[in-house]
Amino acid sequence: MPPLLDDAALEGSSVVANCAMNRERSLTGSNGYGRELGLDIMEVLAERCTRSPRVRWLDLCCGSGRALLEATQLTAKGNLAEQVEIVGLDLVDHFLTTTVPRTLRLITGSATEWEPNEKFDLITCVHGLHYIGDKLGVLKRVASWLTKDGVFIANLDTRSIRRSDGTPAGRQLTYELRQQGFTYDTTRRRISREGSGKVQFPYRYLGADDQAGPNYIGQPAVDSFYDHVHQK
């Protein structure tokens, strides 16, 4: 096993604080949120607005918040500004603007520690889990933050979740993700879920390796190490 970092060391690592990583994705376009998640976010928000007086979207690891700002402007244009609340969370405050509209909140904090006061109809994480240490811990937290029929979708490479002997947790993990209510698309490397839930993974987090090298998007990423805990 490589030397493992705890959260504090990982968050200070040059791989996570890397200024070269793309924090500027737009909502749409060839490298935008829609393409990366296979989801038209404005369509989802608008459809939810037909069913609910309050619709909330949380974007974890939101980077500069560009996509969120664009969505906020579009909700205003579509007269949905009073209904839709958008929240972005990122470890670093490289946010595009300091004067954000009232319906957008950009928060500096870690997805491994932050606690929301409300539930969300949509939770996204575009190429953010690659830099998180306890990825399974974040998935567990996210499941508890969804509304009853809320939707979560994120990019995830399950090869970055490893056992203490260094091998990827592989098919067994995909099975366990499914058992806990997640869907994993192995081709597109996307994880999703519908509806809140109490998630229990049979894994104990050991720490993170920030020297794992480039992942499938070509950027240096973080491997997360776990002990498989046998449940009685």
Ligand X SMILES: C[S@@+](CC[C@H](N)C(=O)[O-])C[C@H]1O[C@@H](n2cnc3c(N)ncnc32)[C@H](O)[C@@H]1O
For ligand X, which stretch binds (CB under 6 A), given 59-67, 72-80, 139-147, 183-191?
59-67
The helix-helix angle for 66-77 and 41-49 (nearest 10°) equals 40
Q: Which is nearer to ligand X, 25 or 189 (CB)?
A: 25
Q: Does the footprint of ligand X cover residue 25 (CB under 6 A)?
A: yes
Please tell me the count of residues contacting ligand X according to CB under 6 A.
Answer: 21
User: Strands, E, within the chain: which ranges?
Assistant: 55-60, 84-90, 104-108, 120-125, 146-155, 161-163, 182-185, 190-194, 203-209, 223-228
Q: Which is nearer to ligand X, 16 or 86 (CB)?
A: 16
DSSP state of 95: -
Among 76, 92, 96, 107, the residue binding ligand X under the rule CB under 6 A is 92
Among 112, 174, 183, 192, the residue binding ligand X under the rule CB under 6 A is 112
The strand pair at 223-228 and 203-209 is best described as antiparallel
* Window 122-151: residues binding ligand X (CB under 6 A): 126-128, 131-132
Please state, in angstroms and rounded to a whole number, the distance separating the CA atoms of residues 6 and 112: 12
Q: Does the footprint of ligand X cover residue 23 (CB under 6 A)?
A: yes
Token pair of 3 as six digits: 């030397």
Q: Name the residues that contact ligand X, by CB under 6 A.
A: 16, 21-25, 61-63, 89-92, 110-112, 126-128, 131-132
